[in-house]
Amino acid sequence: MICRRKFLTAVVATWGSAVAGCHVTARSDRVLRIFNWSDYIAPHLVERFAKLHDCHIVYDSYASDAELETRLATGGGGYDLVFPSDRALVPLLAKELLQPLNKSLLPAARHLDPQFLGVPADPGNRYSLPYFWGTLAIGVRVDRVEPRPDSFAVLFDSRYRGRITVLDDLEATIGAALLHLGYSLNSVDPQHLAEAAQLLRAQRPLLQAYTSDSYKERLIAGEAWVALGWSGDLLQASQEEERIDVVVPRGGTMLWVDSMAIPRAARRPDLAHAFIDFLLDPQIACDNALAVQYATPNAAARRLLPPEVQADPRVYPPQEVLSRSQWLAYRGPQIVRLEAVWRQVRA
Positions in the binding site for ligand SPD (CB under 6 A): 37-40, 65, 85, 87, 230, 233, 256, 258, 328
Work out how close the CB of 121 gets to ligand SPD at its nearest, in angstroms, rounded to a whole number: 12
Q: How far apart are CA 251 and CA 85, in angstroms?
A: 23
**Between 37 and 225, CB nearer to ligand SPD:** 37
Work out how close the CB of 2 gets to ligand SPD at its nearest, in angstroms, rounded to a whole number: 21
The string over 168-184, giving b where at least 16 C-beta atoms fall within 10 Å of a residue's C-beta and e elsewhere, is: bbbbbbbbbbbbbeebe
Work out how close the CB of 85 gets to ligand SPD at its nearest, in angstroms, rounded to a whole number: 4
3-state helix, strand, coil in the chain (%, to 5): 45, 20, 35
213 in Cβ contact with 38 (< 8 Å): yes
**Between 38 and 99, CB nearer to ligand SPD:** 38
**Between 160 and 211, CB nearer to ligand SPD:** 211
- Strand ranges for the chain from DSSP E: 22-24, 31-37, 56-62, 81-82, 128-141, 164-166, 207-210, 226-230, 244-247, 254-261, 326-327
Work out how close the CB of 185 gets to ligand SPD at its nearest, in angstroms, rounded to a whole number: 11
Distance of CA 274 to the CA centre of its chain: 22
125 in Cβ contact with 206 (< 8 Å): no
Work out how close the CB of 9 gets to ligand SPD at its nearest, in angstroms, rounded to a whole number: 18
Residue 180 amino acid letter: H
**Between 122 and 160, CB nearer to ligand SPD:** 122
Helix (H, G, I), strand (E, B), or coil: what is residue 41? Answer: coil
**Between 57 and 235, CB nearer to ligand SPD:** 235
**Between 55 and 341, CB nearer to ligand SPD:** 341
Number of H helices, E strands in the chain: 14, 11
Work out how close the CB of 147 gets to ligand SPD at its nearest, in angstroms, rounded to a whole number: 28
